[in-house]
Every structure is written in structure tokens, then in C-alpha cells.
Amino acid sequence: MLRSILPLAALALTLSSLPAEVTYSLTPDFITPPPGKTAIGDGHGEIRVDSAGLIYISVQGQAEGGLQVYSPEGKYLRHLAGVPGSLHGFVIHKGDAGEFIYAAVLGESRVLKMTLEGKTVMEIPKTAFPAEQSAAGLNLTNCDVAPNGDIYVVDGYGKDWIFVFDKEGKFKSVFGGRGEPLKLSNCHKIFIDPRYTPARVLACDRGNNRMLHLDLEGKLIGVVADKDLRRPSSASFHGDLMCVAEIAGRVSVFDKDGKLVASLGVNDTAGETNTPAMKPEQWRTGTVTSPHGITFDNAGNILETEWNSYGRVLRWTVK
């Protein structure tokens, strides 16, 4: 009898170790653009959701650039006046003092902490960055906030340095770069991965086509995924899941063990990915072009914004 039970137990263990199936369905035409517009505008940034479910999308440009705000149902609500038009990457972080937007302003080499209404309450100017790393110029692409309030900023279009500032904006340390030991290349965005204790830094090392986990001091923990990726550009977390925007034509979902559990909007057509030039008449329903920003909403649905001169946002609804 014992001999017949053991294989069943082994089978159960094997099945329990397999990644859980996660399925999503496309919600077409989810975003309603601003009045008088057929698209949201030049998309080269990020998308995030606050605790109330409101959706924030960064749009490039001097007049209408900055942050647009949408309802959870995708209806345009307002434009946050005064937010820089070259804002590239941002997060919405909830701390003891409430929710704030932390943003990397690509064209101005600075980091802003703003209220959800777009009012700046703290700035990390270019002069706050150490001269040794900033002498060649800074091209800041994203930032995030650690549990202790430290602010992590990446020079993802520059020399791939990752800078750490305290919650008051005072410089603490720097790591990364293109040399040993990490050899980063176009580390496009970084995020604090909250799925672990202590929290980790997730680096979207786009030029090397991999994602890395680093501890909060910058030491390598390991490679999260480095096989069959399509130039990972951004990420978001919900429970044990991580969704990833891959600019070369895919949205992926991984479990906490780094196993792929969903692959969405795959585009294998040459010339349609990793480009901002795809016109609306060329878009295909359910097929991505150049995923650049991504977020889970509060219910676990996925919102993805593309590197596109017209602006495109897709939503996949979790089943």
C-alpha cells in the first residue's frame, strides 16, 4: 500500500510546483482620449495607478505634456498642469504621509516628488548628484522608493548609474554603471520589488536583454529572467506576480519564481516593434507595438502604454 501512495505524493508535489495558470482578455478601446483628441499624445513614459484606482499616464511635449489622469474605467479626467513635459518614468508611492508621485524628468536631469495634483513638494536637482558620475551628463529615466523612504534613481539613457538619496533628497550612495560587476547597458527602469523581505531592486537591463535582482546596497542577488526576453523596459507587481513591458513586442507576466505564466499581445512582425512610428491605422487589436510603461491596477488587471508618437494604451483584464 505504501508503494502505491508514494508515486501519488510525488505527483502532487510536482503539480504544486508548477506555475499557476493566469489568463487575461483584452479590453479594446479602453482609454477615452482628451476632448478633441483621437489619441492621448506622444507616449514615451510610464503608467501608474493610485490607491483610488485613478490612472496616471505620462505624455511628452511642452504644451500638453506631463501627466494625464483617467478614471478606473479609462475616461479622461484632467491634465496636471505644471508637470514637466519631459517626464519619463514615475511611480506612485504611499507612505506614512500619504501618496506621492516620484518622477524622473529626463530632459531636466532632476527628480520630483509631487502630490497627486501635480504640486512639487521636493526636488532632487542635477547639482545633488555626485560630479564624478554626472560630469558626462545625466539622462534620468526612472526612480522608486524603498520601504525606509530612500529614493533610487537610474541614469538609464546615460551611463547606467543607480543613485540612492534619503527621503529628504540628500545623496547617500551610487552603484551600478557599465563596468564590473553588473555591466549594465541601457538599464531603462528600476523598481523596488516588494515581494521579498527585505525588498529588492529590480533592474530592467534592457541593453543586455535581462532583468536583475539587486539588494538595496546594489549587490547582485541574481538574474530574474534572461531567456527569450524582448528588451524589458518596465515592470509592476501585484501579489506574487510581476508584469513586464517588453519594447520589442510583448507583455509578459512572471510568478515570484521567475516563471512565465502569461504572454500577451505578441508581435513578431519586423518593423512594427521598438519604434514610435506606428500610426493608428497600422495598430492591430490585441497586438502590441512597443511596450514602454506598464502597471497592474488594484484589481490585478494590466495597463500598458507604448512608445508611440500618437500615444497608445492597452488593457488586459484578468479572468
> Which CATH number characterizes residue 136's domain?
2.120.10.30
pLDDT of residue 254: 96
Residue 3 backbone phi and psi in degrees, to 5: -65, -35
Q: Examine residue 2 and state whether it is found in any structural domain, yes or no.
A: no
Residue 207 backbone phi and psi in degrees, to 5: -65, -30
Answer positive or negative: Cα dihedral of 305, 222, 95, 51: positive
Q: Which long-range contacts (CB under 8 A, 24 or more apart) does 85-88 make?
A: 85/59, 85/60, 85/61, 86/60, 87/45, 87/58, 87/112, 88/44, 88/45, 88/46, 88/58, 88/140, 88/141, 88/142
pLDDT of the chain, 319 residues: tens digit per residue: 333 333 333 323 333 334 457 899 999 999 999 999 999 999 999 999 999 999 999 999 867 789 999 999 999 999 998 899 999 999 999 988 899 999 999 999 999 999 999 999 999 999 999 999 998 889 999 999 999 999 999 999 999 999 999 999 999 999 999 999 999 999 999 999 999 999 999 999 999 999 999 999 999 999 998 778 999 999 999 999 999 999 999 999 999 999 999 999 999 999 999 999 999 999 999 999 999 999 999 999 999 999 999 999 999 999 9
pLDDT of residue 96: 84
Q: Name the grid cell of 159.
A: 551611463
For Cα atoms 319, 75, 307, give the angle at the middle one, nearest 5 degrees. Answer: 80
For residue 65, what are the contacts with CB-CB under 8 A and spacing of at least 6? 41, 42, 58, 59, 83, 84, 85, 86, 87
pLDDT of residue 20: 59
Interatomic CA distance for residues 244 and 246, integer angstroms: 6
pLDDT of residue 62: 67
Q: Examine residue 77 and state whether it is found in any structural domain, yes or no.
A: yes
- On whether the CB atoms of residues 103 and 93 are closer than 8 A, the answer is no
Residue with cell 516563471: 259
pLDDT of residue 251: 98
Q: Examine residue 11 and state whether it is found in any structural domain, yes or no.
A: no
pTM: 0.92
Q: Name the grid cell of 117.
A: 495634483
Interatomic CA distance for residues 44 and 307, integer angstroms: 5
**Cα 5 off chain centre by:** 46
Q: Which amino acid is at 30?
A: F
For residue 129, what are the contacts with CB-CB under 8 A and spacing of at least 6? 109, 138, 163, 171
Q: Examine residue 47 and state whether it is found in any structural domain, yes or no.
A: yes
For 251, other C-beta atoms within 10 Å of its C-beta total: 22
- Backbone conformation region of residue 12, classed left if phi is above 0, alpha if psi is from -120 to 50, else beta: alpha
Residue 87 backbone phi and psi in degrees, to 5: -60, 130
Q: Name the grid cell of 175.
A: 552603484
Q: Examine residue 178 and state whether it is found in any structural domain, yes or no.
A: yes
Q: Give the domain extent around 85.
A: 19-318
Round to the nearest angstrom and report the end-to-end CA distance of the chain: 41
Q: How many residues does the chain have?
A: 319
Q: Examine residue 272 and state whether it is found in any structural domain, yes or no.
A: yes
Domain count, the chain: 1
Q: Examine residue 6 and state whether it is found in any structural domain, yes or no.
A: no
Residue 8 backbone phi and psi in degrees, to 5: -65, -40
- On whether the CB atoms of residues 176 and 182 are closer than 8 A, the answer is yes
pLDDT of residue 11: 28
Residue 9: its H or E element = helix 2-17
Residue 292 backbone phi and psi in degrees, to 5: -125, -35
